[in-house]
């Protein structure tokens, strides 16, 4: 078990795309929650065109020690959240000595006020990974239509059946983990840079026998109507989870070769990354 160290720095991965209305309030709330703790936020912008970049550039000048922004040029359709998170993770491992890694959304769907308690669970050695679970007993989900909630629960049940019932929420992107857990992901060949990466990452951690603990959370839905879901996306996700389950239960997860900052090795994505 890791020994508690209150001086450990926190690294926060924050993928964003067109969040001009949310990014500054989010950064302010993160700062308010972690004001007494050393931390650094790594924002990965996937080509915002609404003024988000201008706000980030000004903010970075004012807070050079606690904010770093990476700009990616996306060339494929669809959310590439997983690729953004991997880019931030690799940057954090290479350029910081942070011991606690955090992932969260850039649209205020996750509450920054929950950061201290979950960070302390990792710092105190209670577990290797903390997932803020939408399905924990005292969790609250607000501003999310019933249809979207139903699909979320159905998909979660399917993933649990294919992977492991020890985890309730494979898809929420509000996570906290040790540097060692970050290295496990960085050293593994990741196949998915879409949001299905979230499930792949949990499967990798489970296969590595890391201790995963779920905590209650308040999740705020953001423009998530059922109409935004496409059947083809659900089919692709189902195929991907089945493939992940084969690796989790049978073949294992292959190690990755050399890591590169200008993308995710073996991901098949075309991105340029600049500081």
Q: How big is the CA angle at 205 (ends 264 and 99), to the nearest 5 degrees?
A: 75
The number of angstroms, rounded, from the C-alpha of 162 to the middle of its chain's C-alpha atoms is: 21
Rounded-to-integer distance, Cα 114 and Cα 174, Å: 10
Q: Residue 272 falls within a domain, yes or no? A: no
**Span 189-248, pLDDT tens digits:** 999 999 999 999 999 999 999 999 999 999 998 765 444 456 777 888 899 999 999 999
Q: What is the mean pLDDT of residues 247-264?
A: 72
**Span 60-103, pLDDT tens digits:** 999 988 999 999 876 666 678 899 999 999 999 999 999 999 99
Domain that holds residue 125: 10-255
Query: What distances in angstroms separate CA 62 from CA 58, 93, 115, 120, one per listed residue?
Result: 7, 24, 23, 28
Where does the pLDDT of residue 10 fall: very low under 50, low under 70, confident under 90, or very high at 90 and above?
very high
Phi first, then psi, for residue 119 (nearest 5°) are -60, -40
What is the number of other CB atoms lying within 10 angstroms of the CB of residue 125?
14
What the block records as the tokens of 90 is 């690799």
Q: Residue 5 falls within a domain, yes or no? A: no
Where does the pLDDT of residue 157 fall: very low under 50, low under 70, confident under 90, or very high at 90 and above?
very high
Strands 100-103 and 175-178, sheet pairing:
antiparallel
Predicted TM-score of the model (pTM): 0.88
**Span 103-122, pLDDT tens digits:** 999 999 999 999 999 999 99
Nearest to 46 by CA among 94, 10, 93, 13: 13
Q: Residue 2 falls within a domain, yes or no? A: no
3-state secondary structure of 69: strand
Percent of the chain with pLDDT over 90: 72
Give the pLDDT of residue 3: 45
Rounded-to-integer distance, Cα 211 and Cα 201, Å: 13
Look at the chain and report how many structural domains it folds into.
Answer: 1
**Which residues touch 265 (CB under 8 Å, ≥6 apart)?**
189, 256, 257, 258, 259
Q: Residue 61 falls within a domain, yes or no? A: yes
DSSP string, 209-262: T--EEEEE-EEE--S--GGG--HHHHHHHHHHHHHHHHIIIII-PPBP-S--TT
CATH number for the domain including 90? Answer: 3.90.550.10
What the block records as the tokens of 240 is 């991907």
The sign one gets for the Cα dihedral 169, 175, 177, 181 is positive
Q: Residue 55 falls within a domain, yes or no? A: yes
Rounded-to-integer distance, Cα 272 and Cα 8, Å: 31
């Amino acid at each position: 078990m890791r020994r508690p160290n209150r001086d450990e720095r926190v690294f926060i991965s924050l993928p964003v795309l067109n969040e001009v209305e949310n990014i500054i309030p989010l950064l302010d709330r993160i700062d308010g929650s972690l004001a007494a703790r050393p931390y650094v936020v790594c924002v990965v912008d996937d080509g915002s065109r609404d003024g988000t970049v201008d706000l980030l550039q000004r903010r970075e000048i004012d807070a050079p020690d606690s904010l770093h922004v990476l700009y990616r040029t996306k060339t494929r359709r669809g959310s590439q959240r997983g690729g953004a998170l991997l880019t931030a993770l690799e940057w954090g491992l290479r350029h910081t000595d942070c011991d606690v890694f955090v992932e969260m959304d850039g649209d205020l769907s996750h509450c920054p006020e929950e950061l201290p308690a979950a960070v302390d669970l990792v710092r105190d050695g209670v577990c290797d990974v903390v997932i803020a679970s939408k399905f924990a007993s005292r969790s609250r989900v607000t501003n999310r239509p019933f249809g979207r909630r139903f699909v979320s629960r159905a998909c979660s049940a399917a993933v649990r059946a294919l992977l492991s019932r020890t985890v309730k929420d494979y898809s929420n992107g509000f996570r906290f983990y040790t540097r060692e857990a970050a290295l496990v992901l960085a050293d593994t060949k990741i196949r998915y840079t879409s949001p299905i990466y979230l499930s792949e990452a949990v499967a990798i951690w489970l296969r590595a026998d890391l201790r995963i603990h779920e905590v209650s959370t308040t999740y705020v839905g953001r423009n998530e109507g059922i109409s935004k879901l496409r059947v083809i996306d659900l089919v692709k996700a189902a195929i991907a989870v089945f493939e992940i389950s084969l690796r989790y239960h049978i073949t294992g997860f292959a190690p990755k070769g050399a890591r590169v900052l200008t993308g995710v090795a073996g991901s098949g994505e075309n991105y340029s990354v600049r500081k």
